[in-house]
Structure 1
Amino acid sequence: MIYDVIIIGAGSMGMSAGYYLTESGQKVALVDSYDPPHDEGSHHGGTRLIRHAYGEGGNYVPLALHSQKLWEELEEKTEERIFSKTGVLNFGLKGNVFLDTVQKSAEEYNLPLEVMTAKDINTRWPGFQLQDEMIGYFEKNSGVLFSENAVRTYRALAEQNGADLYTNSRVQAIETEADQVTVKLTDDEVKGKKLLISAGKGTNQVTRLLDITLPITPVRKTFSWFKAGEETNYEEGVFPGWGHIDEDSTYYGFPSIDGTGLKIGRHDGGNPIDNPGELEPFGTFPEDEQETLSFAHKYFSEDIERKEGRVCTYTNTPDEDFIIDYLPGYENIIVACGFSGHGFKFSSGIGESLTKMLMDKKTVVSLESFRLNRFDNQ
């Protein structure tokens, strides 16, 4: 069979694209080194935040709003649990650039955003214990995405639509012609008219088969779930998703969903990964346990205790913006990578956009700021 599109990397972006492509009548092969959803990439751990008033830059807001619409459509279509409107609180010190950008993007796109003092926050959500000099911006329409369930749902729909999955399959070589791409696997080969590479931390392992190395760095990250004495303060339906930003660090977290506990992770920092196939387990480094626990005691409660810690990966670009573009020198190969720890929320919109690119159609939202040529002079 000659597929319309081969997708290498069937995680967040790849599986979403697989669904939207098959919905559009395309014949699709999805190739993954594991069996998605899995815990070897960036989509595991159960949950991800979706924010609309975007501190990373107002250019993300149209994509965030369109992605939100698509998540809600997916939930309605399947009756799977994809999104919980917990609201999201961003808090920190006054004058913080990230928080200022949140406010500016809310104003520009007329998004509901509540400005709160530390006292307001501590009163509404007794699980917080913020210092007086802090402020917060609360987005009532944002919330939590169930990441693994979303990938699982996209997979089920894509397979129903006729997609073929090549799971636990390693790419050994890629051969290209003007109108065809052949992907050689360990025990098989797949032929298609076009190729999408969305392989997360393994992206450069794939592109190097075509003598191309992209400006991305895989980074080992950790996150943990915590138990508090007053568990009811942190339950879904009571406590919001949240993010904290200061000059030295960025943290994020989730309410306790279905009794799992308060979830906290650190967004910045982390350890670069030399071998993407091997991740040191949680607890290998002192900061794995120290950082989030110290943060929890400072801003939430002294009686919080860790329940479980996990490891995941970010794939960072130098500017922490995404790469979504044609691979240099190839008119039938697109790469989507470098999502830098804040990409999952957009994967519905990006999957749809990749579908349109692969079918030579105009995307709903501009992806111009994610072009590779922005790194030409670096």
Structure 2
Amino acid sequence: MTNHYDVIVVGAGSMGMAAGYYLARQGVKVLLVDAFDPPHDQGSHYGDTRIIRHAYGEGREYVPLALRSQVLWNDLEKKTHHKIFMQAGAMGFGEKGDAPFIDEGIASGKAYNLDVERFTGAALKERFPGLQIPDNYDAFYEPNSGFLFSENCIQAYRDLAEHHGAEFSINDPVRDIEAYDDSVKVMTEKSIFTADKLVISAGSWSGKIAAKVGLDLPLVPSRQPVAWFEANESLFNANAFPTFMVEIPNGENRAIYYGFPSFGGCGVKVGRHEYVDAIDPDTMNGEFGSNENDEGHIREFLDKFMPKASGALKKGVICKYTRTPDGHFIIDKHPVHAHISIAAGFSGHGFKFASVVGEILSQLTISGRTDHDISIFRLNRPGLMGTKVAGNERKYFK
């Protein structure tokens, strides 16, 4: 393994692994460095599956990227022996007039002429009899969506990146980075590497890694419990029930739950999207059940809305989110060192975009621009720059 590269990618998880593949495929000499051995249980790709939705409650700006992602995931499945995507459909529901996430999902589907059908709660229960929801709830169903086998996605991109000549330094934490005018030096536990360009996409460690090149990013890593429950398979298997996003009142705020149907007898998988348990990724307790809320609030949701999926707990795991203040991603070039790109803060809804983010990062790295509209992900957007620290406007370059 030589020590100088065209590009070093720090963080070979969801976005980094995809970027490594797209770079290597174009003949770029690329090294991917990771503190673990991807796919692994320390990243945001952990936990078997991730939803892919096209109608998008987080904002209609995401729809073109979701559609491009789907094309790229389908292409990945054709290139590999790994199963990548299952078309199970996706639905969302919430209180009529008091569920902005659901309203925006419906509106985004209409804006882009997607195959999205609107339902009342009563009609949705008739369509999916495993549900127990009020008749006047507002709902939608999108048949062309479904879920991705997240760890398969990482492995497939890794296999293809290696096939195209990408090199890896795994189980090798980054200790420091020095940025120069036209190059970088990356010092790891095992070695020292240099490159013309750098991509940082280190998941929950992105804030710590970005600080090594002078960026002070408002990233909050958080602990995310997800659990699988025994369910009535005739009602909740993937041929009969879709993935779901549910928005319900929670005091003065709203709670958003998400989940997956059962397949292969795995049980129904459920998590709570907006639940924030801020952590240091280096010291987080990764044992499911060590926090009393790990199962409790998920069980309450199932008991209320899907009681026949609230059987015995089959499995629980802890994943990680890395959130930004406005919930939108960070995908941009370093404000001083344009040969450094960063992708971070995917805020719990980013995995589905890993394929297109990899494409975007490869374009930014090679040409300095991208074909995709990433204006809402810029570092200088109001949702980040408006944060106040000690009475001063936050500056993200030290």
State the TM bucket, normalised to the shorter chain.
Answer: over 0.9
Structure 2 partner of 1:367: 374
Do residues 7 (structure 1) and 9 (structure 2) align? yes
The one-character-per-residue Cα deviations of 1:64-102 (angstroms, maximum 9, x if unpaired) are: 011111111111122421111100001111112111111
Equivalent of 2:338 in 324, 331, 340: 331
The 2-side partners of 1:179 and 1:329 are apart by: 11
The one-character-per-residue Cα deviations of 1:238-260 (angstroms, maximum 9, x if unpaired) are: 11001101232000000112111
Task: Give the residue type in structure 1 aligned to 2:21.
Answer: Y
- Answer whether contact 2:223 2:284 (CA < 8 A) is retained: no
Query: After TM superposition, what 4+ stretches of structure 1 lie above 3 angstroms from structure 2?
Result: 274-277
CA positional deviation for 1:232 = 2.1
The 2-side partners of 1:280 and 1:179 are apart by: 39
The 2-side partners of 1:366 and 1:276 are apart by: 34
CA positional deviation for 1:216 = 0.6
CA positional deviation for 1:125 = 1.7
Structure 2 partner of 1:310: 317
Do residues 214 (structure 1) and 217 (structure 2) align? yes
What are the ranges of 5 or more consecutive residues in structure 1 without an aligned counterpart?
none
The 1-side partners of 2:215 and 2:304 are apart by: 45
- Answer whether contact 1:218 1:276 (CA < 8 A) is retained: no
The 1-side partners of 2:129 and 2:386 are apart by: 49
The one-character-per-residue Cα deviations of 1:10-37 (angstroms, maximum 9, x if unpaired) are: 0000000001111111111000000000
TM-score, normalising length from structure 1?
Answer: 0.97
| Deviating more after overlay: 213-222 vs 203-212 | 203-212
Equivalent of 2:28 in 22, 26, 36: 26
The 1-side partners of 2:273 and 2:13 are apart by: 20
The 2-side partners of 1:219 and 1:92 are apart by: 25
| Deviating more after overlay: 367-376 vs 269-278 | 269-278
Structure 1 partner of 2:60: 58
The 2-side partners of 1:78 and 1:212 are apart by: 37
State the secondary structure of the residue aligned to 1:210: coil
Do residues 46 (structure 1) and 44 (structure 2) align? no
Equivalent of 2:74 in 72, 75, 88: 72
Task: Give the residue type in structure 2 aligned to 1:279.
Answer: N
Structure 1 partner of 2:395: none
Number of residue pairs matched? 377
The 1-side partners of 2:337 and 2:369 are apart by: 19
Do residues 358 (structure 1) and 365 (structure 2) align? yes
- Answer whether contact 1:10 1:31 (CA < 8 A) is retained: yes
The 2-side partners of 1:158 and 1:362 are apart by: 22
The 2-side partners of 1:276 and 1:120 are apart by: 47
Structure 1 partner of 2:85: 83
TM-score, normalising length from structure 2?
Answer: 0.92
- Answer whether contact 1:297 1:304 (CA < 8 A) is retained: no
- Answer whether contact 1:241 1:255 (CA < 8 A) is retained: yes
- Answer whether contact 1:176 1:182 (CA < 8 A) is retained: yes
| Deviating more after overlay: 37-46 vs 77-86 | 77-86
Equivalent of 2:242 in 240, 243, 247: 240
The one-character-per-residue Cα deviations of 1:208-260 (angstroms, maximum 9, x if unpaired) are: 222322111001110100002x2221111111001101232000000112111
CA positional deviation for 1:297 = 1.0
Structure 2 partner of 1:377: 386
Structure 2 partner of 1:199: 202
The 2-side partners of 1:231 and 1:140 are apart by: 20
Do residues 294 (structure 1) and 303 (structure 2) align? no
State the secondary structure of the residue aligned to 1:246: strand
- Answer whether contact 1:201 1:276 (CA < 8 A) is retained: no
- Answer whether contact 1:180 1:192 (CA < 8 A) is retained: yes
State the secondary structure of the residue aligned to 1:102: helix
| Deviating more after overlay: 338-347 vs 363-372 | 363-372
The 2-side partners of 1:144 and 1:35 are apart by: 24
The one-character-per-residue Cα deviations of 1:169-224 (angstroms, maximum 9, x if unpaired) are: 01111122222211011121111110000001111221222232211100111010
The 1-side partners of 2:370 and 2:211 are apart by: 28
The 2-side partners of 1:307 and 1:366 are apart by: 41
Do residues 145 (structure 1) and 135 (structure 2) align? no
State the secondary structure of the residue aligned to 1:75: helix
What are the ranges of 5 or more consecutive residues in structure 2 without an aligned counterpart?
388-398
- Give the % identical residues: 45
State the secondary structure of the residue aligned to 2:64: helix
Structure 1 partner of 2:177: 174
Alpha-carbon spacing, 1:275–1:98, altered in 2? closer, same or farther (3 Å):
closer
Structure 2 partner of 1:114: 117
Alpha-carbon spacing, 1:138–1:151, altered in 2? closer, same or farther (3 Å):
same
Task: Give the residue type in structure 2 aligned to 1:45.
Answer: G
The 1-side partners of 2:210 and 2:368 are apart by: 25
Equivalent of 1:105 in 82, 102, 108: 108
- Answer whether contact 2:205 2:281 (CA < 8 A) is retained: no
State the secondary structure of the residue aligned to 1:359: helix
CA positional deviation for 1:266 = 0.4
The 2-side partners of 1:359 and 1:42 are apart by: 26
| Deviating more after overlay: 266-275 vs 155-164 | 266-275
